[in-house]
Amino acid sequence: MGIKISNFYQGESISLLTKHHKEKVIGPLFSKTLKADLITIDSYDTDQLGTFTREISRQGSQLDAARRKAEIGMEIGRTKYGIGSEGSFVQDPYAGVIPINYEIIIFIDSLRSIEVVGQARGSSINHHASVKNWQELAKFARLNKFPKHQLVIRPDHQDHPAFEKDINNLEQLKKAFNKALKISEKKKVFVEHDLRAFANPTRMKNIKEATKDLLLKLRSVCSKCQTPGFSISRHEPGLPCALCEMPSNQTKAKIYTCLKCDYERKEYVKSNKADPGKCNFCNP
């Protein structure tokens, strides 16, 4: 028996708080998959909750920030349901060179008192440099997917308060560069990618993937109490080695857990033998 699929949100109004046009990717997926009515709320300045340009730092965790956005949206939109999304960037933990973008999107159902979280991670376009002349900046722009990915310009260093954003053509870039250079003390200009969703297509792509993950969970329903969001909470290791048949660290089963009741469901993985190359017993 597969996972039960249902749709509780057909025709329901769901608030989405965003100032950075995230509705462009979230909206079509929600209306297509859930047939829900997404209400975009852009009257609240989400930059108050934290910015990528460091003038306001985020309070609490990434999930806290996403939840806060969903709650504010529900309050303004007067809806029972709300969506909030929040992104973060870290260096690739293995190679250390490629920036990784981690996106989460939360759905709050105040009627059932549940929260369902979708997530995605992917490489991202997030670079910075210190430049001394226009040629250096033009080269940086050319190599870093400008103007599709927008840039932020400021004098001297990454924390200088006089920055220019919403730069999406060469003419604007040159203007911002000249202005920054003029007030710079060290005759240097700091350039970095604008990480706001609408200014960064790679981020937008990851938000789309996180939304797909969320929708998959939202449509999966507990067969005992009918609560949506019935999804994988943990993996059970112990898949037997193909050679010596001892239990390995590889996943044997995925455990689905209900957000409301105690019902769990175990789904065994398709392959029933683990790769001996990763076995702790016969291939130490």
Given the rule CB under 5 A, which residues bind Zn ion? 222, 224-225, 227, 241, 243-244, 258, 260-261, 263, 276, 279, 281-282
State the minimum distance, in angstroms, from the CB of residue 105 to Zn ion: 23
Tell me how far apart the alpha carbons of residues 16 and 111 are, in angstroms, rounded to a whole number.
17
State the minimum distance, in angstroms, from the CB of residue 271 to Zn ion: 15
Give CA angle at 200 (134, 63), nearest 5°: 130
- In terms of CB distance, is 107 or 230 closer to Zn ion? 230
- In terms of CB distance, is 152 or 274 closer to Zn ion? 274
Tell me how far apart the alpha carbons of residues 106 and 87 are, in angstroms, rounded to a whole number.
12
Convert 115-139 to b/e letters by CB count within 10 Å (16 or more is b).
bbbbbbeeebbbeeeebeeeeebbe
State the minimum distance, in angstroms, from the CB of residue 241 to Zn ion: 3
State the minimum distance, in angstroms, from the CB of residue 216 to Zn ion: 17
- In terms of CB distance, is 38 or 222 closer to Zn ion? 222
- Residue 79: what are its φ and ψ, rounded to 5°? -115, 160
- In terms of CB distance, is 268 or 281 closer to Zn ion? 281
Contact 80, 112 (CB under 8 A): no
- In terms of CB distance, is 220 or 227 closer to Zn ion? 227
State the minimum distance, in angstroms, from the CB of residue 135 to Zn ion: 59
Task: Name 132's bridge partners.
Answer: none
Residue 195: closest CA among 53, 40, 35, 4:
53
